[in-house]
Amino acid sequence: MEPAVLTGEHFLNGDVACAEGALAAGCRFFAGYPITPATEIAEHMSKRLPGVGGVFIQMEDEISAMAAIIGASCAGVKSMTATSGPGFSLMMENIGLGIAMETPCVLVNVQRAGPSTGLPTLGAQGDMMQARWGSHGHYEIIALSPCSPQEIFYQTITAFNLSETYRIPVLIMADEIVGHLAERVIIPQSSKISLQSRPRAKGRKDRFKPFHPGANGVAPMAHAGEGYMVHFTGLTHDERGYPAMTADAQAEMIERITGKIQRNLDKIIQVERYRLEDADIALVSYGISSRSSLAAVDEARERGVKAGLLRLITVWPFPEQIVRELAKRVKRFITVELNLGQIHLEVQRCAEGRAPCLLVGHAGGAVITPEDIVKKILEQT
């Protein structure tokens, strides 16, 4: 066996760092389909998984890749897939299956510019609303957004931990720039990496209800082969997992799958605040755009403007409360993202008219520069 955790200092691109993060998190099943700019994740997993006792399979499309990781997870193995825009669109229906079956798994979207085939080799952050609402029906999702190879390594571990804790598919919304950017990545000793596992079924097998929530709203999970004879379905179901075709059962199930996230927001949401304490202007950004934003804050400060940055590590669930609080004291928000206003809409919603909300956006295919952002900051002061 080879080591799953490659402790040490490395020079890795974001895609490879993501794959290493998955292995460090205990991922032992990867199903994927080649797509630029996410392919390197699959390639690296195909190389590494056999050596750590795992299985890699290249499926016939992204639909089957997503189905396969849910199936693997139902058999008890931590599983992941990785894709980009077109494949992300194809995975949407089975993301909903993972939500309804409350099955842990991780999906990485290394975003490229869309719509359609778009700019396969160039970055964007245009799938953020799709990440939130792309599968049909009403549900909650968890999505993280990394800004560097080092961060994607850690976020992938976090993604698995959240996914296991809350029995939910977790999305890593990376972008082509982070995916292909090579930087120093420090991988800690495995003893320093804290891992979570899904709550497991115990007790009488004939009385077990696979969707009966535990104390934190999350039901313990029984795997195929453990003798609990569970039934999982994408149909609206009761706590036994049995289809229940009524409005009441629907209300109860949706409350269960949304409530377990909404009641644990403080444990799920992570943000980073940079020079926000006395800020008049709050930048809100995530992923690669947050790095330009960071530089822009310093530049604006040098020019005498009190700018700060709210960097979203968790994009979904959206840190509503934090933005609402900020709205009470900042003079304006500027959202910086590689689309023409998606998270911007969320900032607007949560600012509730207390502060003007501006956007530094871009259709994708390039990076937003610190200069673009500084210009917008200075225009408004």
Partner 1 sequence: MNGSTAPKHPLDGLLRTDRIPHIWCPGCGIGTVFSSSLIAISSTGKDPANTAVVSGIGCSGRGAGYVNLDSYHTTHGRAIPFATGMKLANPELTVVVFSGDGDLFAIGGNHFIHAARRNMDLTVICVNNLNYGMTGGQAAATTPHLAKTSTTPRGNPESPFNLPLLAYASGATYIARWTMLHTRDLTQSITEALTRTGFSFIEVLAPCPTGYGRKNRLKATDMLKIYQEKAMVKNGINPAETILDLEHGITLGKFVEYDRPTYAENYKAVCGE
- For residues 77 and 69, give the distance between their C-alpha atoms in angstroms, rounded to a whole number: 9
User: Residues 212 to 271: which contact partner 1 by CB under 8 A?
Assistant: 222-235, 242-243
Nearer to partner 1, 203 or 225 (CB): 225
Least Å distance, CB 31 to partner 1, is 6
Using the rule CB under 8 A, give the single segment among 7-15, 54-62, 186-194, 263-271 that binds partner 1.
54-62
> For partner 1, what does the binding mask look like between residues 60 and 99, x meaning CB under 8 A?
xx-xxx-xxxxxxxxxxx-x-------------xx-xx--
Closest by Cα among 31, 50, 51 to 41: 31
Q: What angle do CA 258, 263, 269 make, to 5 degrees?
A: 95
CB atoms within 10 A of CB 132: 21
Least Å distance, CB 101 to partner 1, is 8
Rule CB under 8 A: say whether 27 interacts with partner 1: no
Least Å distance, CB 81 to partner 1, is 10
Interface pick for partner 1 out of 6, 7, 43, 57 (rule CB under 8 A): 57
Nearer to partner 1, 245 or 247 (CB): 245
Nearer to partner 1, 70 or 170 (CB): 70
CA torsion through residues 148, 151, 153, 155, sign: negative
Q: Exposure pattern of 56-86 as b/e (b: 16+ CB <10 Å)?
A: bbebeebbbbbbbbbbbbbebbbbbbbbbbb
Interface pick for partner 1 out of 3, 8, 34, 51 (rule CB under 8 A): 51
Show Cβ contacts of residue 353 under 8 Å, excluding neighbours closer than 6 positions: none
How many Å separate Cα 33 from the centre of its chain?
A: 19
User: Residues 155 to 184: which contact partner 1 by CB under 8 A?
Assistant: none
Residue 122, classed as helix, strand or coil, is strand
User: Residues 98 to 117: which contact partner 1 by CB under 8 A?
Assistant: 101
Residue 123, classed as helix, strand or coil, is strand
**Residues near partner 1, by CB under 8 A:** 1, 29, 31, 50-51, 55-57, 59-61, 63-65, 67-77, 79, 93-94, 96-97, 101, 222-235, 242-243
